[in-house]
Chain A
């Protein structure tokens, strides 16, 4: 056993630390880039950075010195310190970019904004490329001990899942990334000072990243965002970029739900002057003071100044609360004693419910910083202790999951502008499932018979929507959450109250040009009990008095809008298929808001615009660009000196491709099933992904125990085993999780971790097993195998989502399992190729 700097103990420690730092960087960089260059660009940058990890494998393959064990032993401390310093420098570089994501949306033509974006993306590549060098070099130099090394790599990533949310909350994203890169520098110092042949002078290099991190203490502005934005008035939005100076933020908190800030009063706010999003233009009464709480410099909620939440205090706010589009349902005469407000934020809907006599309000919001830190502490006095009122239960949790888990029934289930992501979320453990068909049905299941489901959201302007609806093909799926939720409510209510007329169960009102000139703010109130003639008359009166557009029921003589057609059409399926975009809500299995249905794709194909229709979807355009880069990366060595060695190991290299793709496809599909079950995103990361990686690490260690002569056979059996276990998991997990949905959080976490074991453990065996099968060629080809595995992992992430876009996640898991079945076929081929 080697004892020097690149000896197996140091190598394992180094890999563990690098994998730890990279996983933390992946999650935290994504949060930073959301704010800096926007969610779409962020997803692209992170995916490309992951390809940087694989590109390093190609570099190690082409530069033999990088994988020479002796040279690696001497140079490992420098490589590790280089990775650590690259991570810290990348953070400094990215945080120095004077950009706010909106600069790219509203100044798309600005060359400066484009250049800054390119710099941010290039800087994000640095830690991954440098970390990839360490991993590929160590795996190449220690191909024989690969089981142990790979297990250390997976274990490091698993620890990263545990640490990332804590680092994010304690230190913020920039410092969190920098700190997570320091353990690698520590191993560098130990390796340099240890008994091997590493250069002692390299120990000093390890101090470089530490020194850089310490710089951030006296100068925190070095790692703070440089710009935010302001949109002016809600009724007449006008973008401007705003420089941030020290002291401009009164409150700043990072967590998995994003970057939450409260700007100091002297700083331009996200909206100003701010009176509320849905306030009627006819309202000229007093407007209470509000504090805007801003997420990712994009979305906001607000806390309302109040002396308290007694009837007298609420009466002072009554006129302002009631003049809002989001309060229409409170003025029909129905009483809502128990209300569930999802996405409660700063509590406007909570105030309105209390004002109208609610005796119990459950206020759920995903953002713990808002619920716990702001509303219950810092803004407690300002908000009149609203979230500490005995009638209010404020809970930081995922609203969809909470609604599925609670047994309580409510008179009102309310969403006041919740959601709003235009691009599909692309993280590994979560998707946007807040308004899927199943979600809407589960909210209605919490509703009493006379209860009301209230939904307020901005959506593409009605007149533009009509224009699009008249076209044969649209360039990209329009942003129409309110219309889709309306259709979802119709379908869900038809199941709950068969025979009832939906047209009598729903009221829809709107306000034009709020928040964006291209949008309407739309309010939907729906109930299993039809609205009476008196209630509908009250609705029309409120709309008339407050000058809201009564969309349904519409005043007599109005033209039928797409909303009224969706409400009244006798054949909803036919109506939906006749449109050039989908109006039915997404499903839990395919929770994509911008997918095109088969009917729409067929129309696009007939019009010769299939390519454009597909490219209009961000997942497809990004997946295609990434796929091309990935294939060029892994294919490049075929034209070099490695081609001959590659021919002899071609089936095995195919195994690495299947493995990269299959692991991701199965992992993503299986983890997403846990979203509803576990709830909060932190559990998705620190329970689901953590245990998945840990079980796979255990599988990798077990691989070392398989004797050489039976390795091919064992791996083939294991591959078929994964297929069987995967299918069993798909069949058994949903009823198991449904039965345990009401368990306390610790029980659910334990069950989720245990349920992943049978599948994730064997999935960890293959990478080290296949490296062992490379035999004498291993030291030359490991780096390539690593690159192939990495590139196909990234392809797998996108392919899984693109397949799910059309066919659902369940089928994308099947495709992942098919990749494992292919492994079982390729392994015997390799044995034959090796013999010949």
Chain B
């Protein structure tokens, strides 16, 4: 059980990092969505 809790905590920490990045980069110009230059 302890191992599972540890694994869950580590997973949550890492996914939290992803959420933090999404949050930081959410302020970009909505007309030019981050990561997309459009298409050709």
Contact = CB atoms under 8 A, between A and B. Distances in A.
Interface stretch (A194-202, A613-621, A656-664): A613-621
Contacts of A298: 36, 39
Contacts of A63: 2-3, 6
B6 to A, nearest CB: 6
A69 interface: no
Nearest to B26: A108
A55 B7 CA distance: 9
Interface in A24-40: 38-40
A518 B30 CA distance: 11
Nearest to A43: B35
A121 B2 CA distance: 24
Nearest to B21: A625
A382 interface: no
A277 B40 contact: yes
A615 B24 contact: yes
Given A58-B10, A277-B40, A300-B40, A38 B17 contact: no
B40 A515 contact: yes
Given A59-B10, A475-B28, A621-B24, A121 B15 contact: yes
B36 A105 contact: yes
Contacts of A516: 38-39
A105 B15 CA distance: 20
Interface string B9-40: 01101111110110011011111111111111
Nearest to A61: B6
A476 interface: yes
Contacts of A59: 3, 6-7, 10
A105 B35 contact: yes
Interface in A287-301: 298-300
Contacts of A62: 6
A214 B2 CA distance: 35
B24 A625 contact: yes
A52 interface: yes
A478 B32 contact: yes
B4 to A, nearest CB: 10
A628 B24 CA distance: 13
A43 B7 CA distance: 23
Contact of A299 (B28, B33, B40): B40
B15 A624 contact: no
A275 B10 CA distance: 51
B10 to A, nearest CB: 4
Contact of A121 (B18, B35, B36, B40): B18
Contacts of A41: 35
Contact of B36 (A277, A422, A632): A422
B30 to A, nearest CB: 7
Contacts of B16: 629
B10 A422 contact: no
Contacts of A518: 31-32, 38
Contact of B40 (A104, A458, A612): A458
Contact of B18 (A44, A58, A458, A616): A44
Given A48-B17, A51-B14, A626-B17, 12 more contacts: A38-B35, A55-B11, A106-B33, A237-B38, A270-B39, A422-B36, A422-B37, A479-B32, A518-B38, A615-B25, A624-B24, A629-B14
25 contacts: A41-B35, A44-B21, A63-B3, A105-B36, A125-B14, A129-B11, A231-B39, A237-B38, A298-B36, A420-B37, A420-B38, A422-B34, A458-B40, A475-B27, A476-B28, A476-B34, A516-B39, A615-B24, A616-B27, A622-B25, A625-B17, A629-B14, A632-B13, A633-B10, A633-B14
Interface of B: 2-3, 6-7, 10-11, 13-18, 20-21, 24-25, 27-40
Q: 5 tightest A-B contacts by CB?
A: A629-B17, A40-B35, A516-B38, A625-B21, A422-B37
